[in-house]
Chains A and B, each alone.
Chain A
Amino acid sequence: MATSAGNEGRFGAGAPLRQRDLPALAHGRGALTVLLCAAVLLSLLRVPWGDDLVRPGGVAMVGQVLGGMLKPDLAPEVLGKAAAAAWQTIAYAVTGMTVALAMALPLGALASGTLVRNPVLRRVTMVLARGSLGLLRAIHELVWAWLFVAALGLSPVAAIAALAIPYAGILGRIYADLLNDVPPQPVTALQTTGAGLAITFLYARIPLALPDMISYTFYRFECGLRSAAILSFVGLGGLGFQIQIALDDLLFGRVATYLLVLVALILAVDTWSSQVRRRLTQ
């Protein structure tokens, strides 16, 4: 509908819109929006807003937690533990992402369908690669962590595998799309110089997609740090593990310290990635 309206506009400048050019669907969509908003508001009536919404002592507990947050425990012993845990979390995230990258690059390249000329073969490799990428990321890292801890015990390998597998699925999927969506002209230009698919991939697709790939990988590394911290809740060590112990002991000041360290880590990666991105886009 939009394109037909556009063509009309180009050739008959100033011509009045005809009845069939009016977007009839927008009407339906508007009504649907109103309906959905009403449904959300109505659902609020079903929430039991009674005194029993918050459990007894819950409010006091929240006060305690918030109080602890305002007074992070900065004792040298706690800071030492925080540093060691942060290091462990970083190590898990970096190693997990490295393995994820090694899996995502070949799978993503195959899933993009830009490496195979034969249409049937391309279809087959794309379906296989996209399918396995989907399988990898369909299961959450926490579930993978439980599985690997059950299979391997509390070993760093379990943490790294749990992180690497879903992240490979996510990265590979995005890489495939980015490699597919590069501007076509430089790619065709290389093909007319006689370069084959593999060489065109090296000299046009990868360099054209690289800035976006790197910036997305950084973003995912940030998510990986958070995931690595959470993974350690299953007992694998790291910031999450320390947070869990401190919570069990009701030491909210310590919880605050560990959370602050996690926030600092994320912010540091964010600063780093935006600097890299600036250099790439210049």
Chain B
Amino acid sequence: MFELIGVTKRYGSHVALVPLDLTIADGETVAIVGPSGSGKTTLLHLLAGVVQPDRGVLAIAGRNARSIPHGRELSRLAGLMHQQYDLVPTLSVLHNVLAGRLGEWGFFKALFSLAFPQERQQAFEALERVGIGAKLYERTSRLSGGEQQRVALARLLLQNPRAILADEPVSSVDPARAEDIVRLLVQVAGEGQHTLVASLHSVPLALAHFQRVIGLRLGELAFDLPAHAVQQHHLADLYVLDQQTMPLVGEAVGH
């Protein structure tokens, strides 16, 4: 699904990713762990095609990421889910879910749908799959954080990309809900045969629910192992305190 060869990315003088080689197969579920600022978000944004590498080659579904036009074509390959859900709070849940179809709809269908929602059945089914079918007509701002994250997932289900990329999907919900959301994410990815790549603060969640775990540290691959093969010393090395370069690492270890 994804192939990175010597990919680097920097923002100004800040090096987000040093040359990185990585292959992710179709249908894999991969968790990315690592301290804050280790390049997790950058990597996910690269995989989603929203940023391009400075050097190296990134292939998405066998095509050079640079040659994939933004918009409809890219949206069929990769769908990105953020920690802040990025929903429109003043719209109903229904419209937020249907927003996943906007890449396929023309302008007039989209306009018409605001007054007379189209493809309601599909939206309802997606919401049922994430367990909140009853919220179809509610105003999105009235939903809890966990429910909003489910709406964002339902929107992705309607977008139906080959790969689901989730950036810290559970950092805004309480720990009890976090486990539910991660399980749900892995489950729907499996059902729809989507590739799933998620960055997580919580190592236990990564180890419990994903096939493969990648550790990133300072933009470098620290380890890349099947979840069952990850040892305590891998994690200790990943989160080791380094005052000189990582003044804020304490925050990440706290989780």
Which A residues contact B (CB, under 8 angstroms)?
A: 10-11, 185-186, 188-196, 198-200, 202-204, 207-208, 210-211, 280, 282
Q: Roughly how many angstroms separate A188 CA and B120 CA in the complex, as a whole number?
A: 24
Residues of B contacting A195 in the complex (Cβ-Cβ under 8 angstroms): 71, 99, 102-103, 110
Q: Within the complex, what minimum Cβ distance (angstroms) separates A212 from chain B?
A: 10
| Contact A194–B110 (Cβ < 8 Å) | no
Interface residues of B in 48-104 (CB under 8 A from A): 48, 50, 70-76, 79-80, 82, 84, 86-91, 95, 99-104
B25 beta carbon closer than 8 Å to chain A? no
Residues of A contacting B102 in the complex (Cβ-Cβ under 8 angstroms): 190, 193-195, 199-200, 203
Offer 26 A-B interface pairs, CB within 8 angstroms, sorted by A. A10-B247, A185-B82, A186-B88, A188-B50, A190-B102, A193-B75, A193-B99, A193-B100, A194-B71, A194-B102, A194-B104, A194-B159, A195-B99, A195-B102, A195-B110, A196-B71, A200-B102, A202-B110, A202-B114, A203-B88, A203-B95, A203-B99, A208-B89, A211-B90, A280-B90, A282-B142
With A196-B71, A202-B114, A208-B90 known to touch, is A190 a contact of B99 (CB < 8 Å)? yes
With A185-B82, A190-B102, A203-B102 known to touch, is A196 a contact of B107 (CB < 8 Å)? yes
Q: Roughly how many angstroms separate A199 CA and B50 CA in the complex, as a whole number?
A: 19
Closest 10 CB pairs of A and B: A194-B103, A194-B75, A189-B86, A195-B102, A194-B72, A185-B86, A207-B90, A199-B110, A194-B71, A186-B86
Residues of B contacting A211 in the complex (Cβ-Cβ under 8 angstroms): 90
Q: Within the complex, what minimum Cβ distance (angstroms) separates B96 from chain A?
A: 9
Q: Within the complex, what minimum Cβ distance (angstroms) separates B114 from chain A?
A: 7
Q: Roughly how many angstroms separate A185 CA and B83 CA in the complex, as a whole number?
A: 11
Q: How many residues of B contact A (CB 8 A)?
A: 36
Q: Roughly how many angstroms separate A200 CA and B80 CA in the complex, as a whole number?
A: 16
Which B residues contact A (CB, under 8 angstroms)?
A: 48, 50, 70-76, 79-80, 82, 84, 86-91, 95, 99-105, 107, 110-111, 114, 141-142, 155, 159, 247
Residues of B contacting A194 in the complex (Cβ-Cβ under 8 angstroms): 71-76, 102-104, 159
Q: Identify B103's interface contact among A11, A188, A193, A282, CB under 8 A.
A: A193
Q: Roughly how many angstroms separate A185 CA and B159 CA in the complex, as a whole number?
A: 17
Q: Within the complex, what minimum Cβ distance (angstroms) separates A268 from chain B?
A: 26
Residues of B contacting A192 in the complex (Cβ-Cβ under 8 angstroms): 48, 50, 74-75, 79-80
Residues of A contacting B105 in the complex (Cβ-Cβ under 8 angstroms): 199
Residues of B contacting A185 in the complex (Cβ-Cβ under 8 angstroms): 82, 84, 86
| Contact B91–A203 (Cβ < 8 Å) | yes
Looking at A203, A208, A210, A282, the one whose CB has the most chain B CB atoms below 10 A away is: A203
Q: Within the complex, what minimum Cβ distance (angstroms) separates A177 from chain B?
A: 18
Q: Within the complex, what minimum Cβ distance (angstroms) separates B71 from chain A?
A: 5
Residues of A contacting B88 in the complex (Cβ-Cβ under 8 angstroms): 186, 203-204, 207-208
Q: Roughly how many angstroms separate A141 CA and B210 CA in the complex, as a whole number?
A: 66
| Contact B80–A202 (Cβ < 8 Å) | no
| Contact A210–B90 (Cβ < 8 Å) | yes
Residues of B contacting A198 in the complex (Cβ-Cβ under 8 angstroms): 107
Q: Roughly how many angstroms separate A282 CA and B89 CA in the complex, as a whole number?
A: 11
Residue of B nearest to A208 (CB): B88
Q: Within the complex, what minimum Cβ distance (angstroms) separates B87 from chain A?
A: 6
User: A186-B87, A207-B88 known; 8 other A-B pairs, CB under 8 Å?
Assistant: A185-B82, A192-B80, A193-B103, A194-B75, A202-B111, A203-B95, A207-B91, A282-B142
Residue of B nearest to A204 (CB): B88
Q: Within the complex, what minimum Cβ distance (angstroms) separates B244 from chain A?
A: 11
Residues of B contacting A207 in the complex (Cβ-Cβ under 8 angstroms): 88, 90-91
Residue of A nearest to B101 (CB): A193
Q: Roughly how many angstroms separate A189 CA and B102 CA in the complex, as a whole number?
A: 11
Residues of B contacting A203 in the complex (Cβ-Cβ under 8 angstroms): 88, 91, 95, 99, 102, 110, 114
| Contact B82–A199 (Cβ < 8 Å) | no
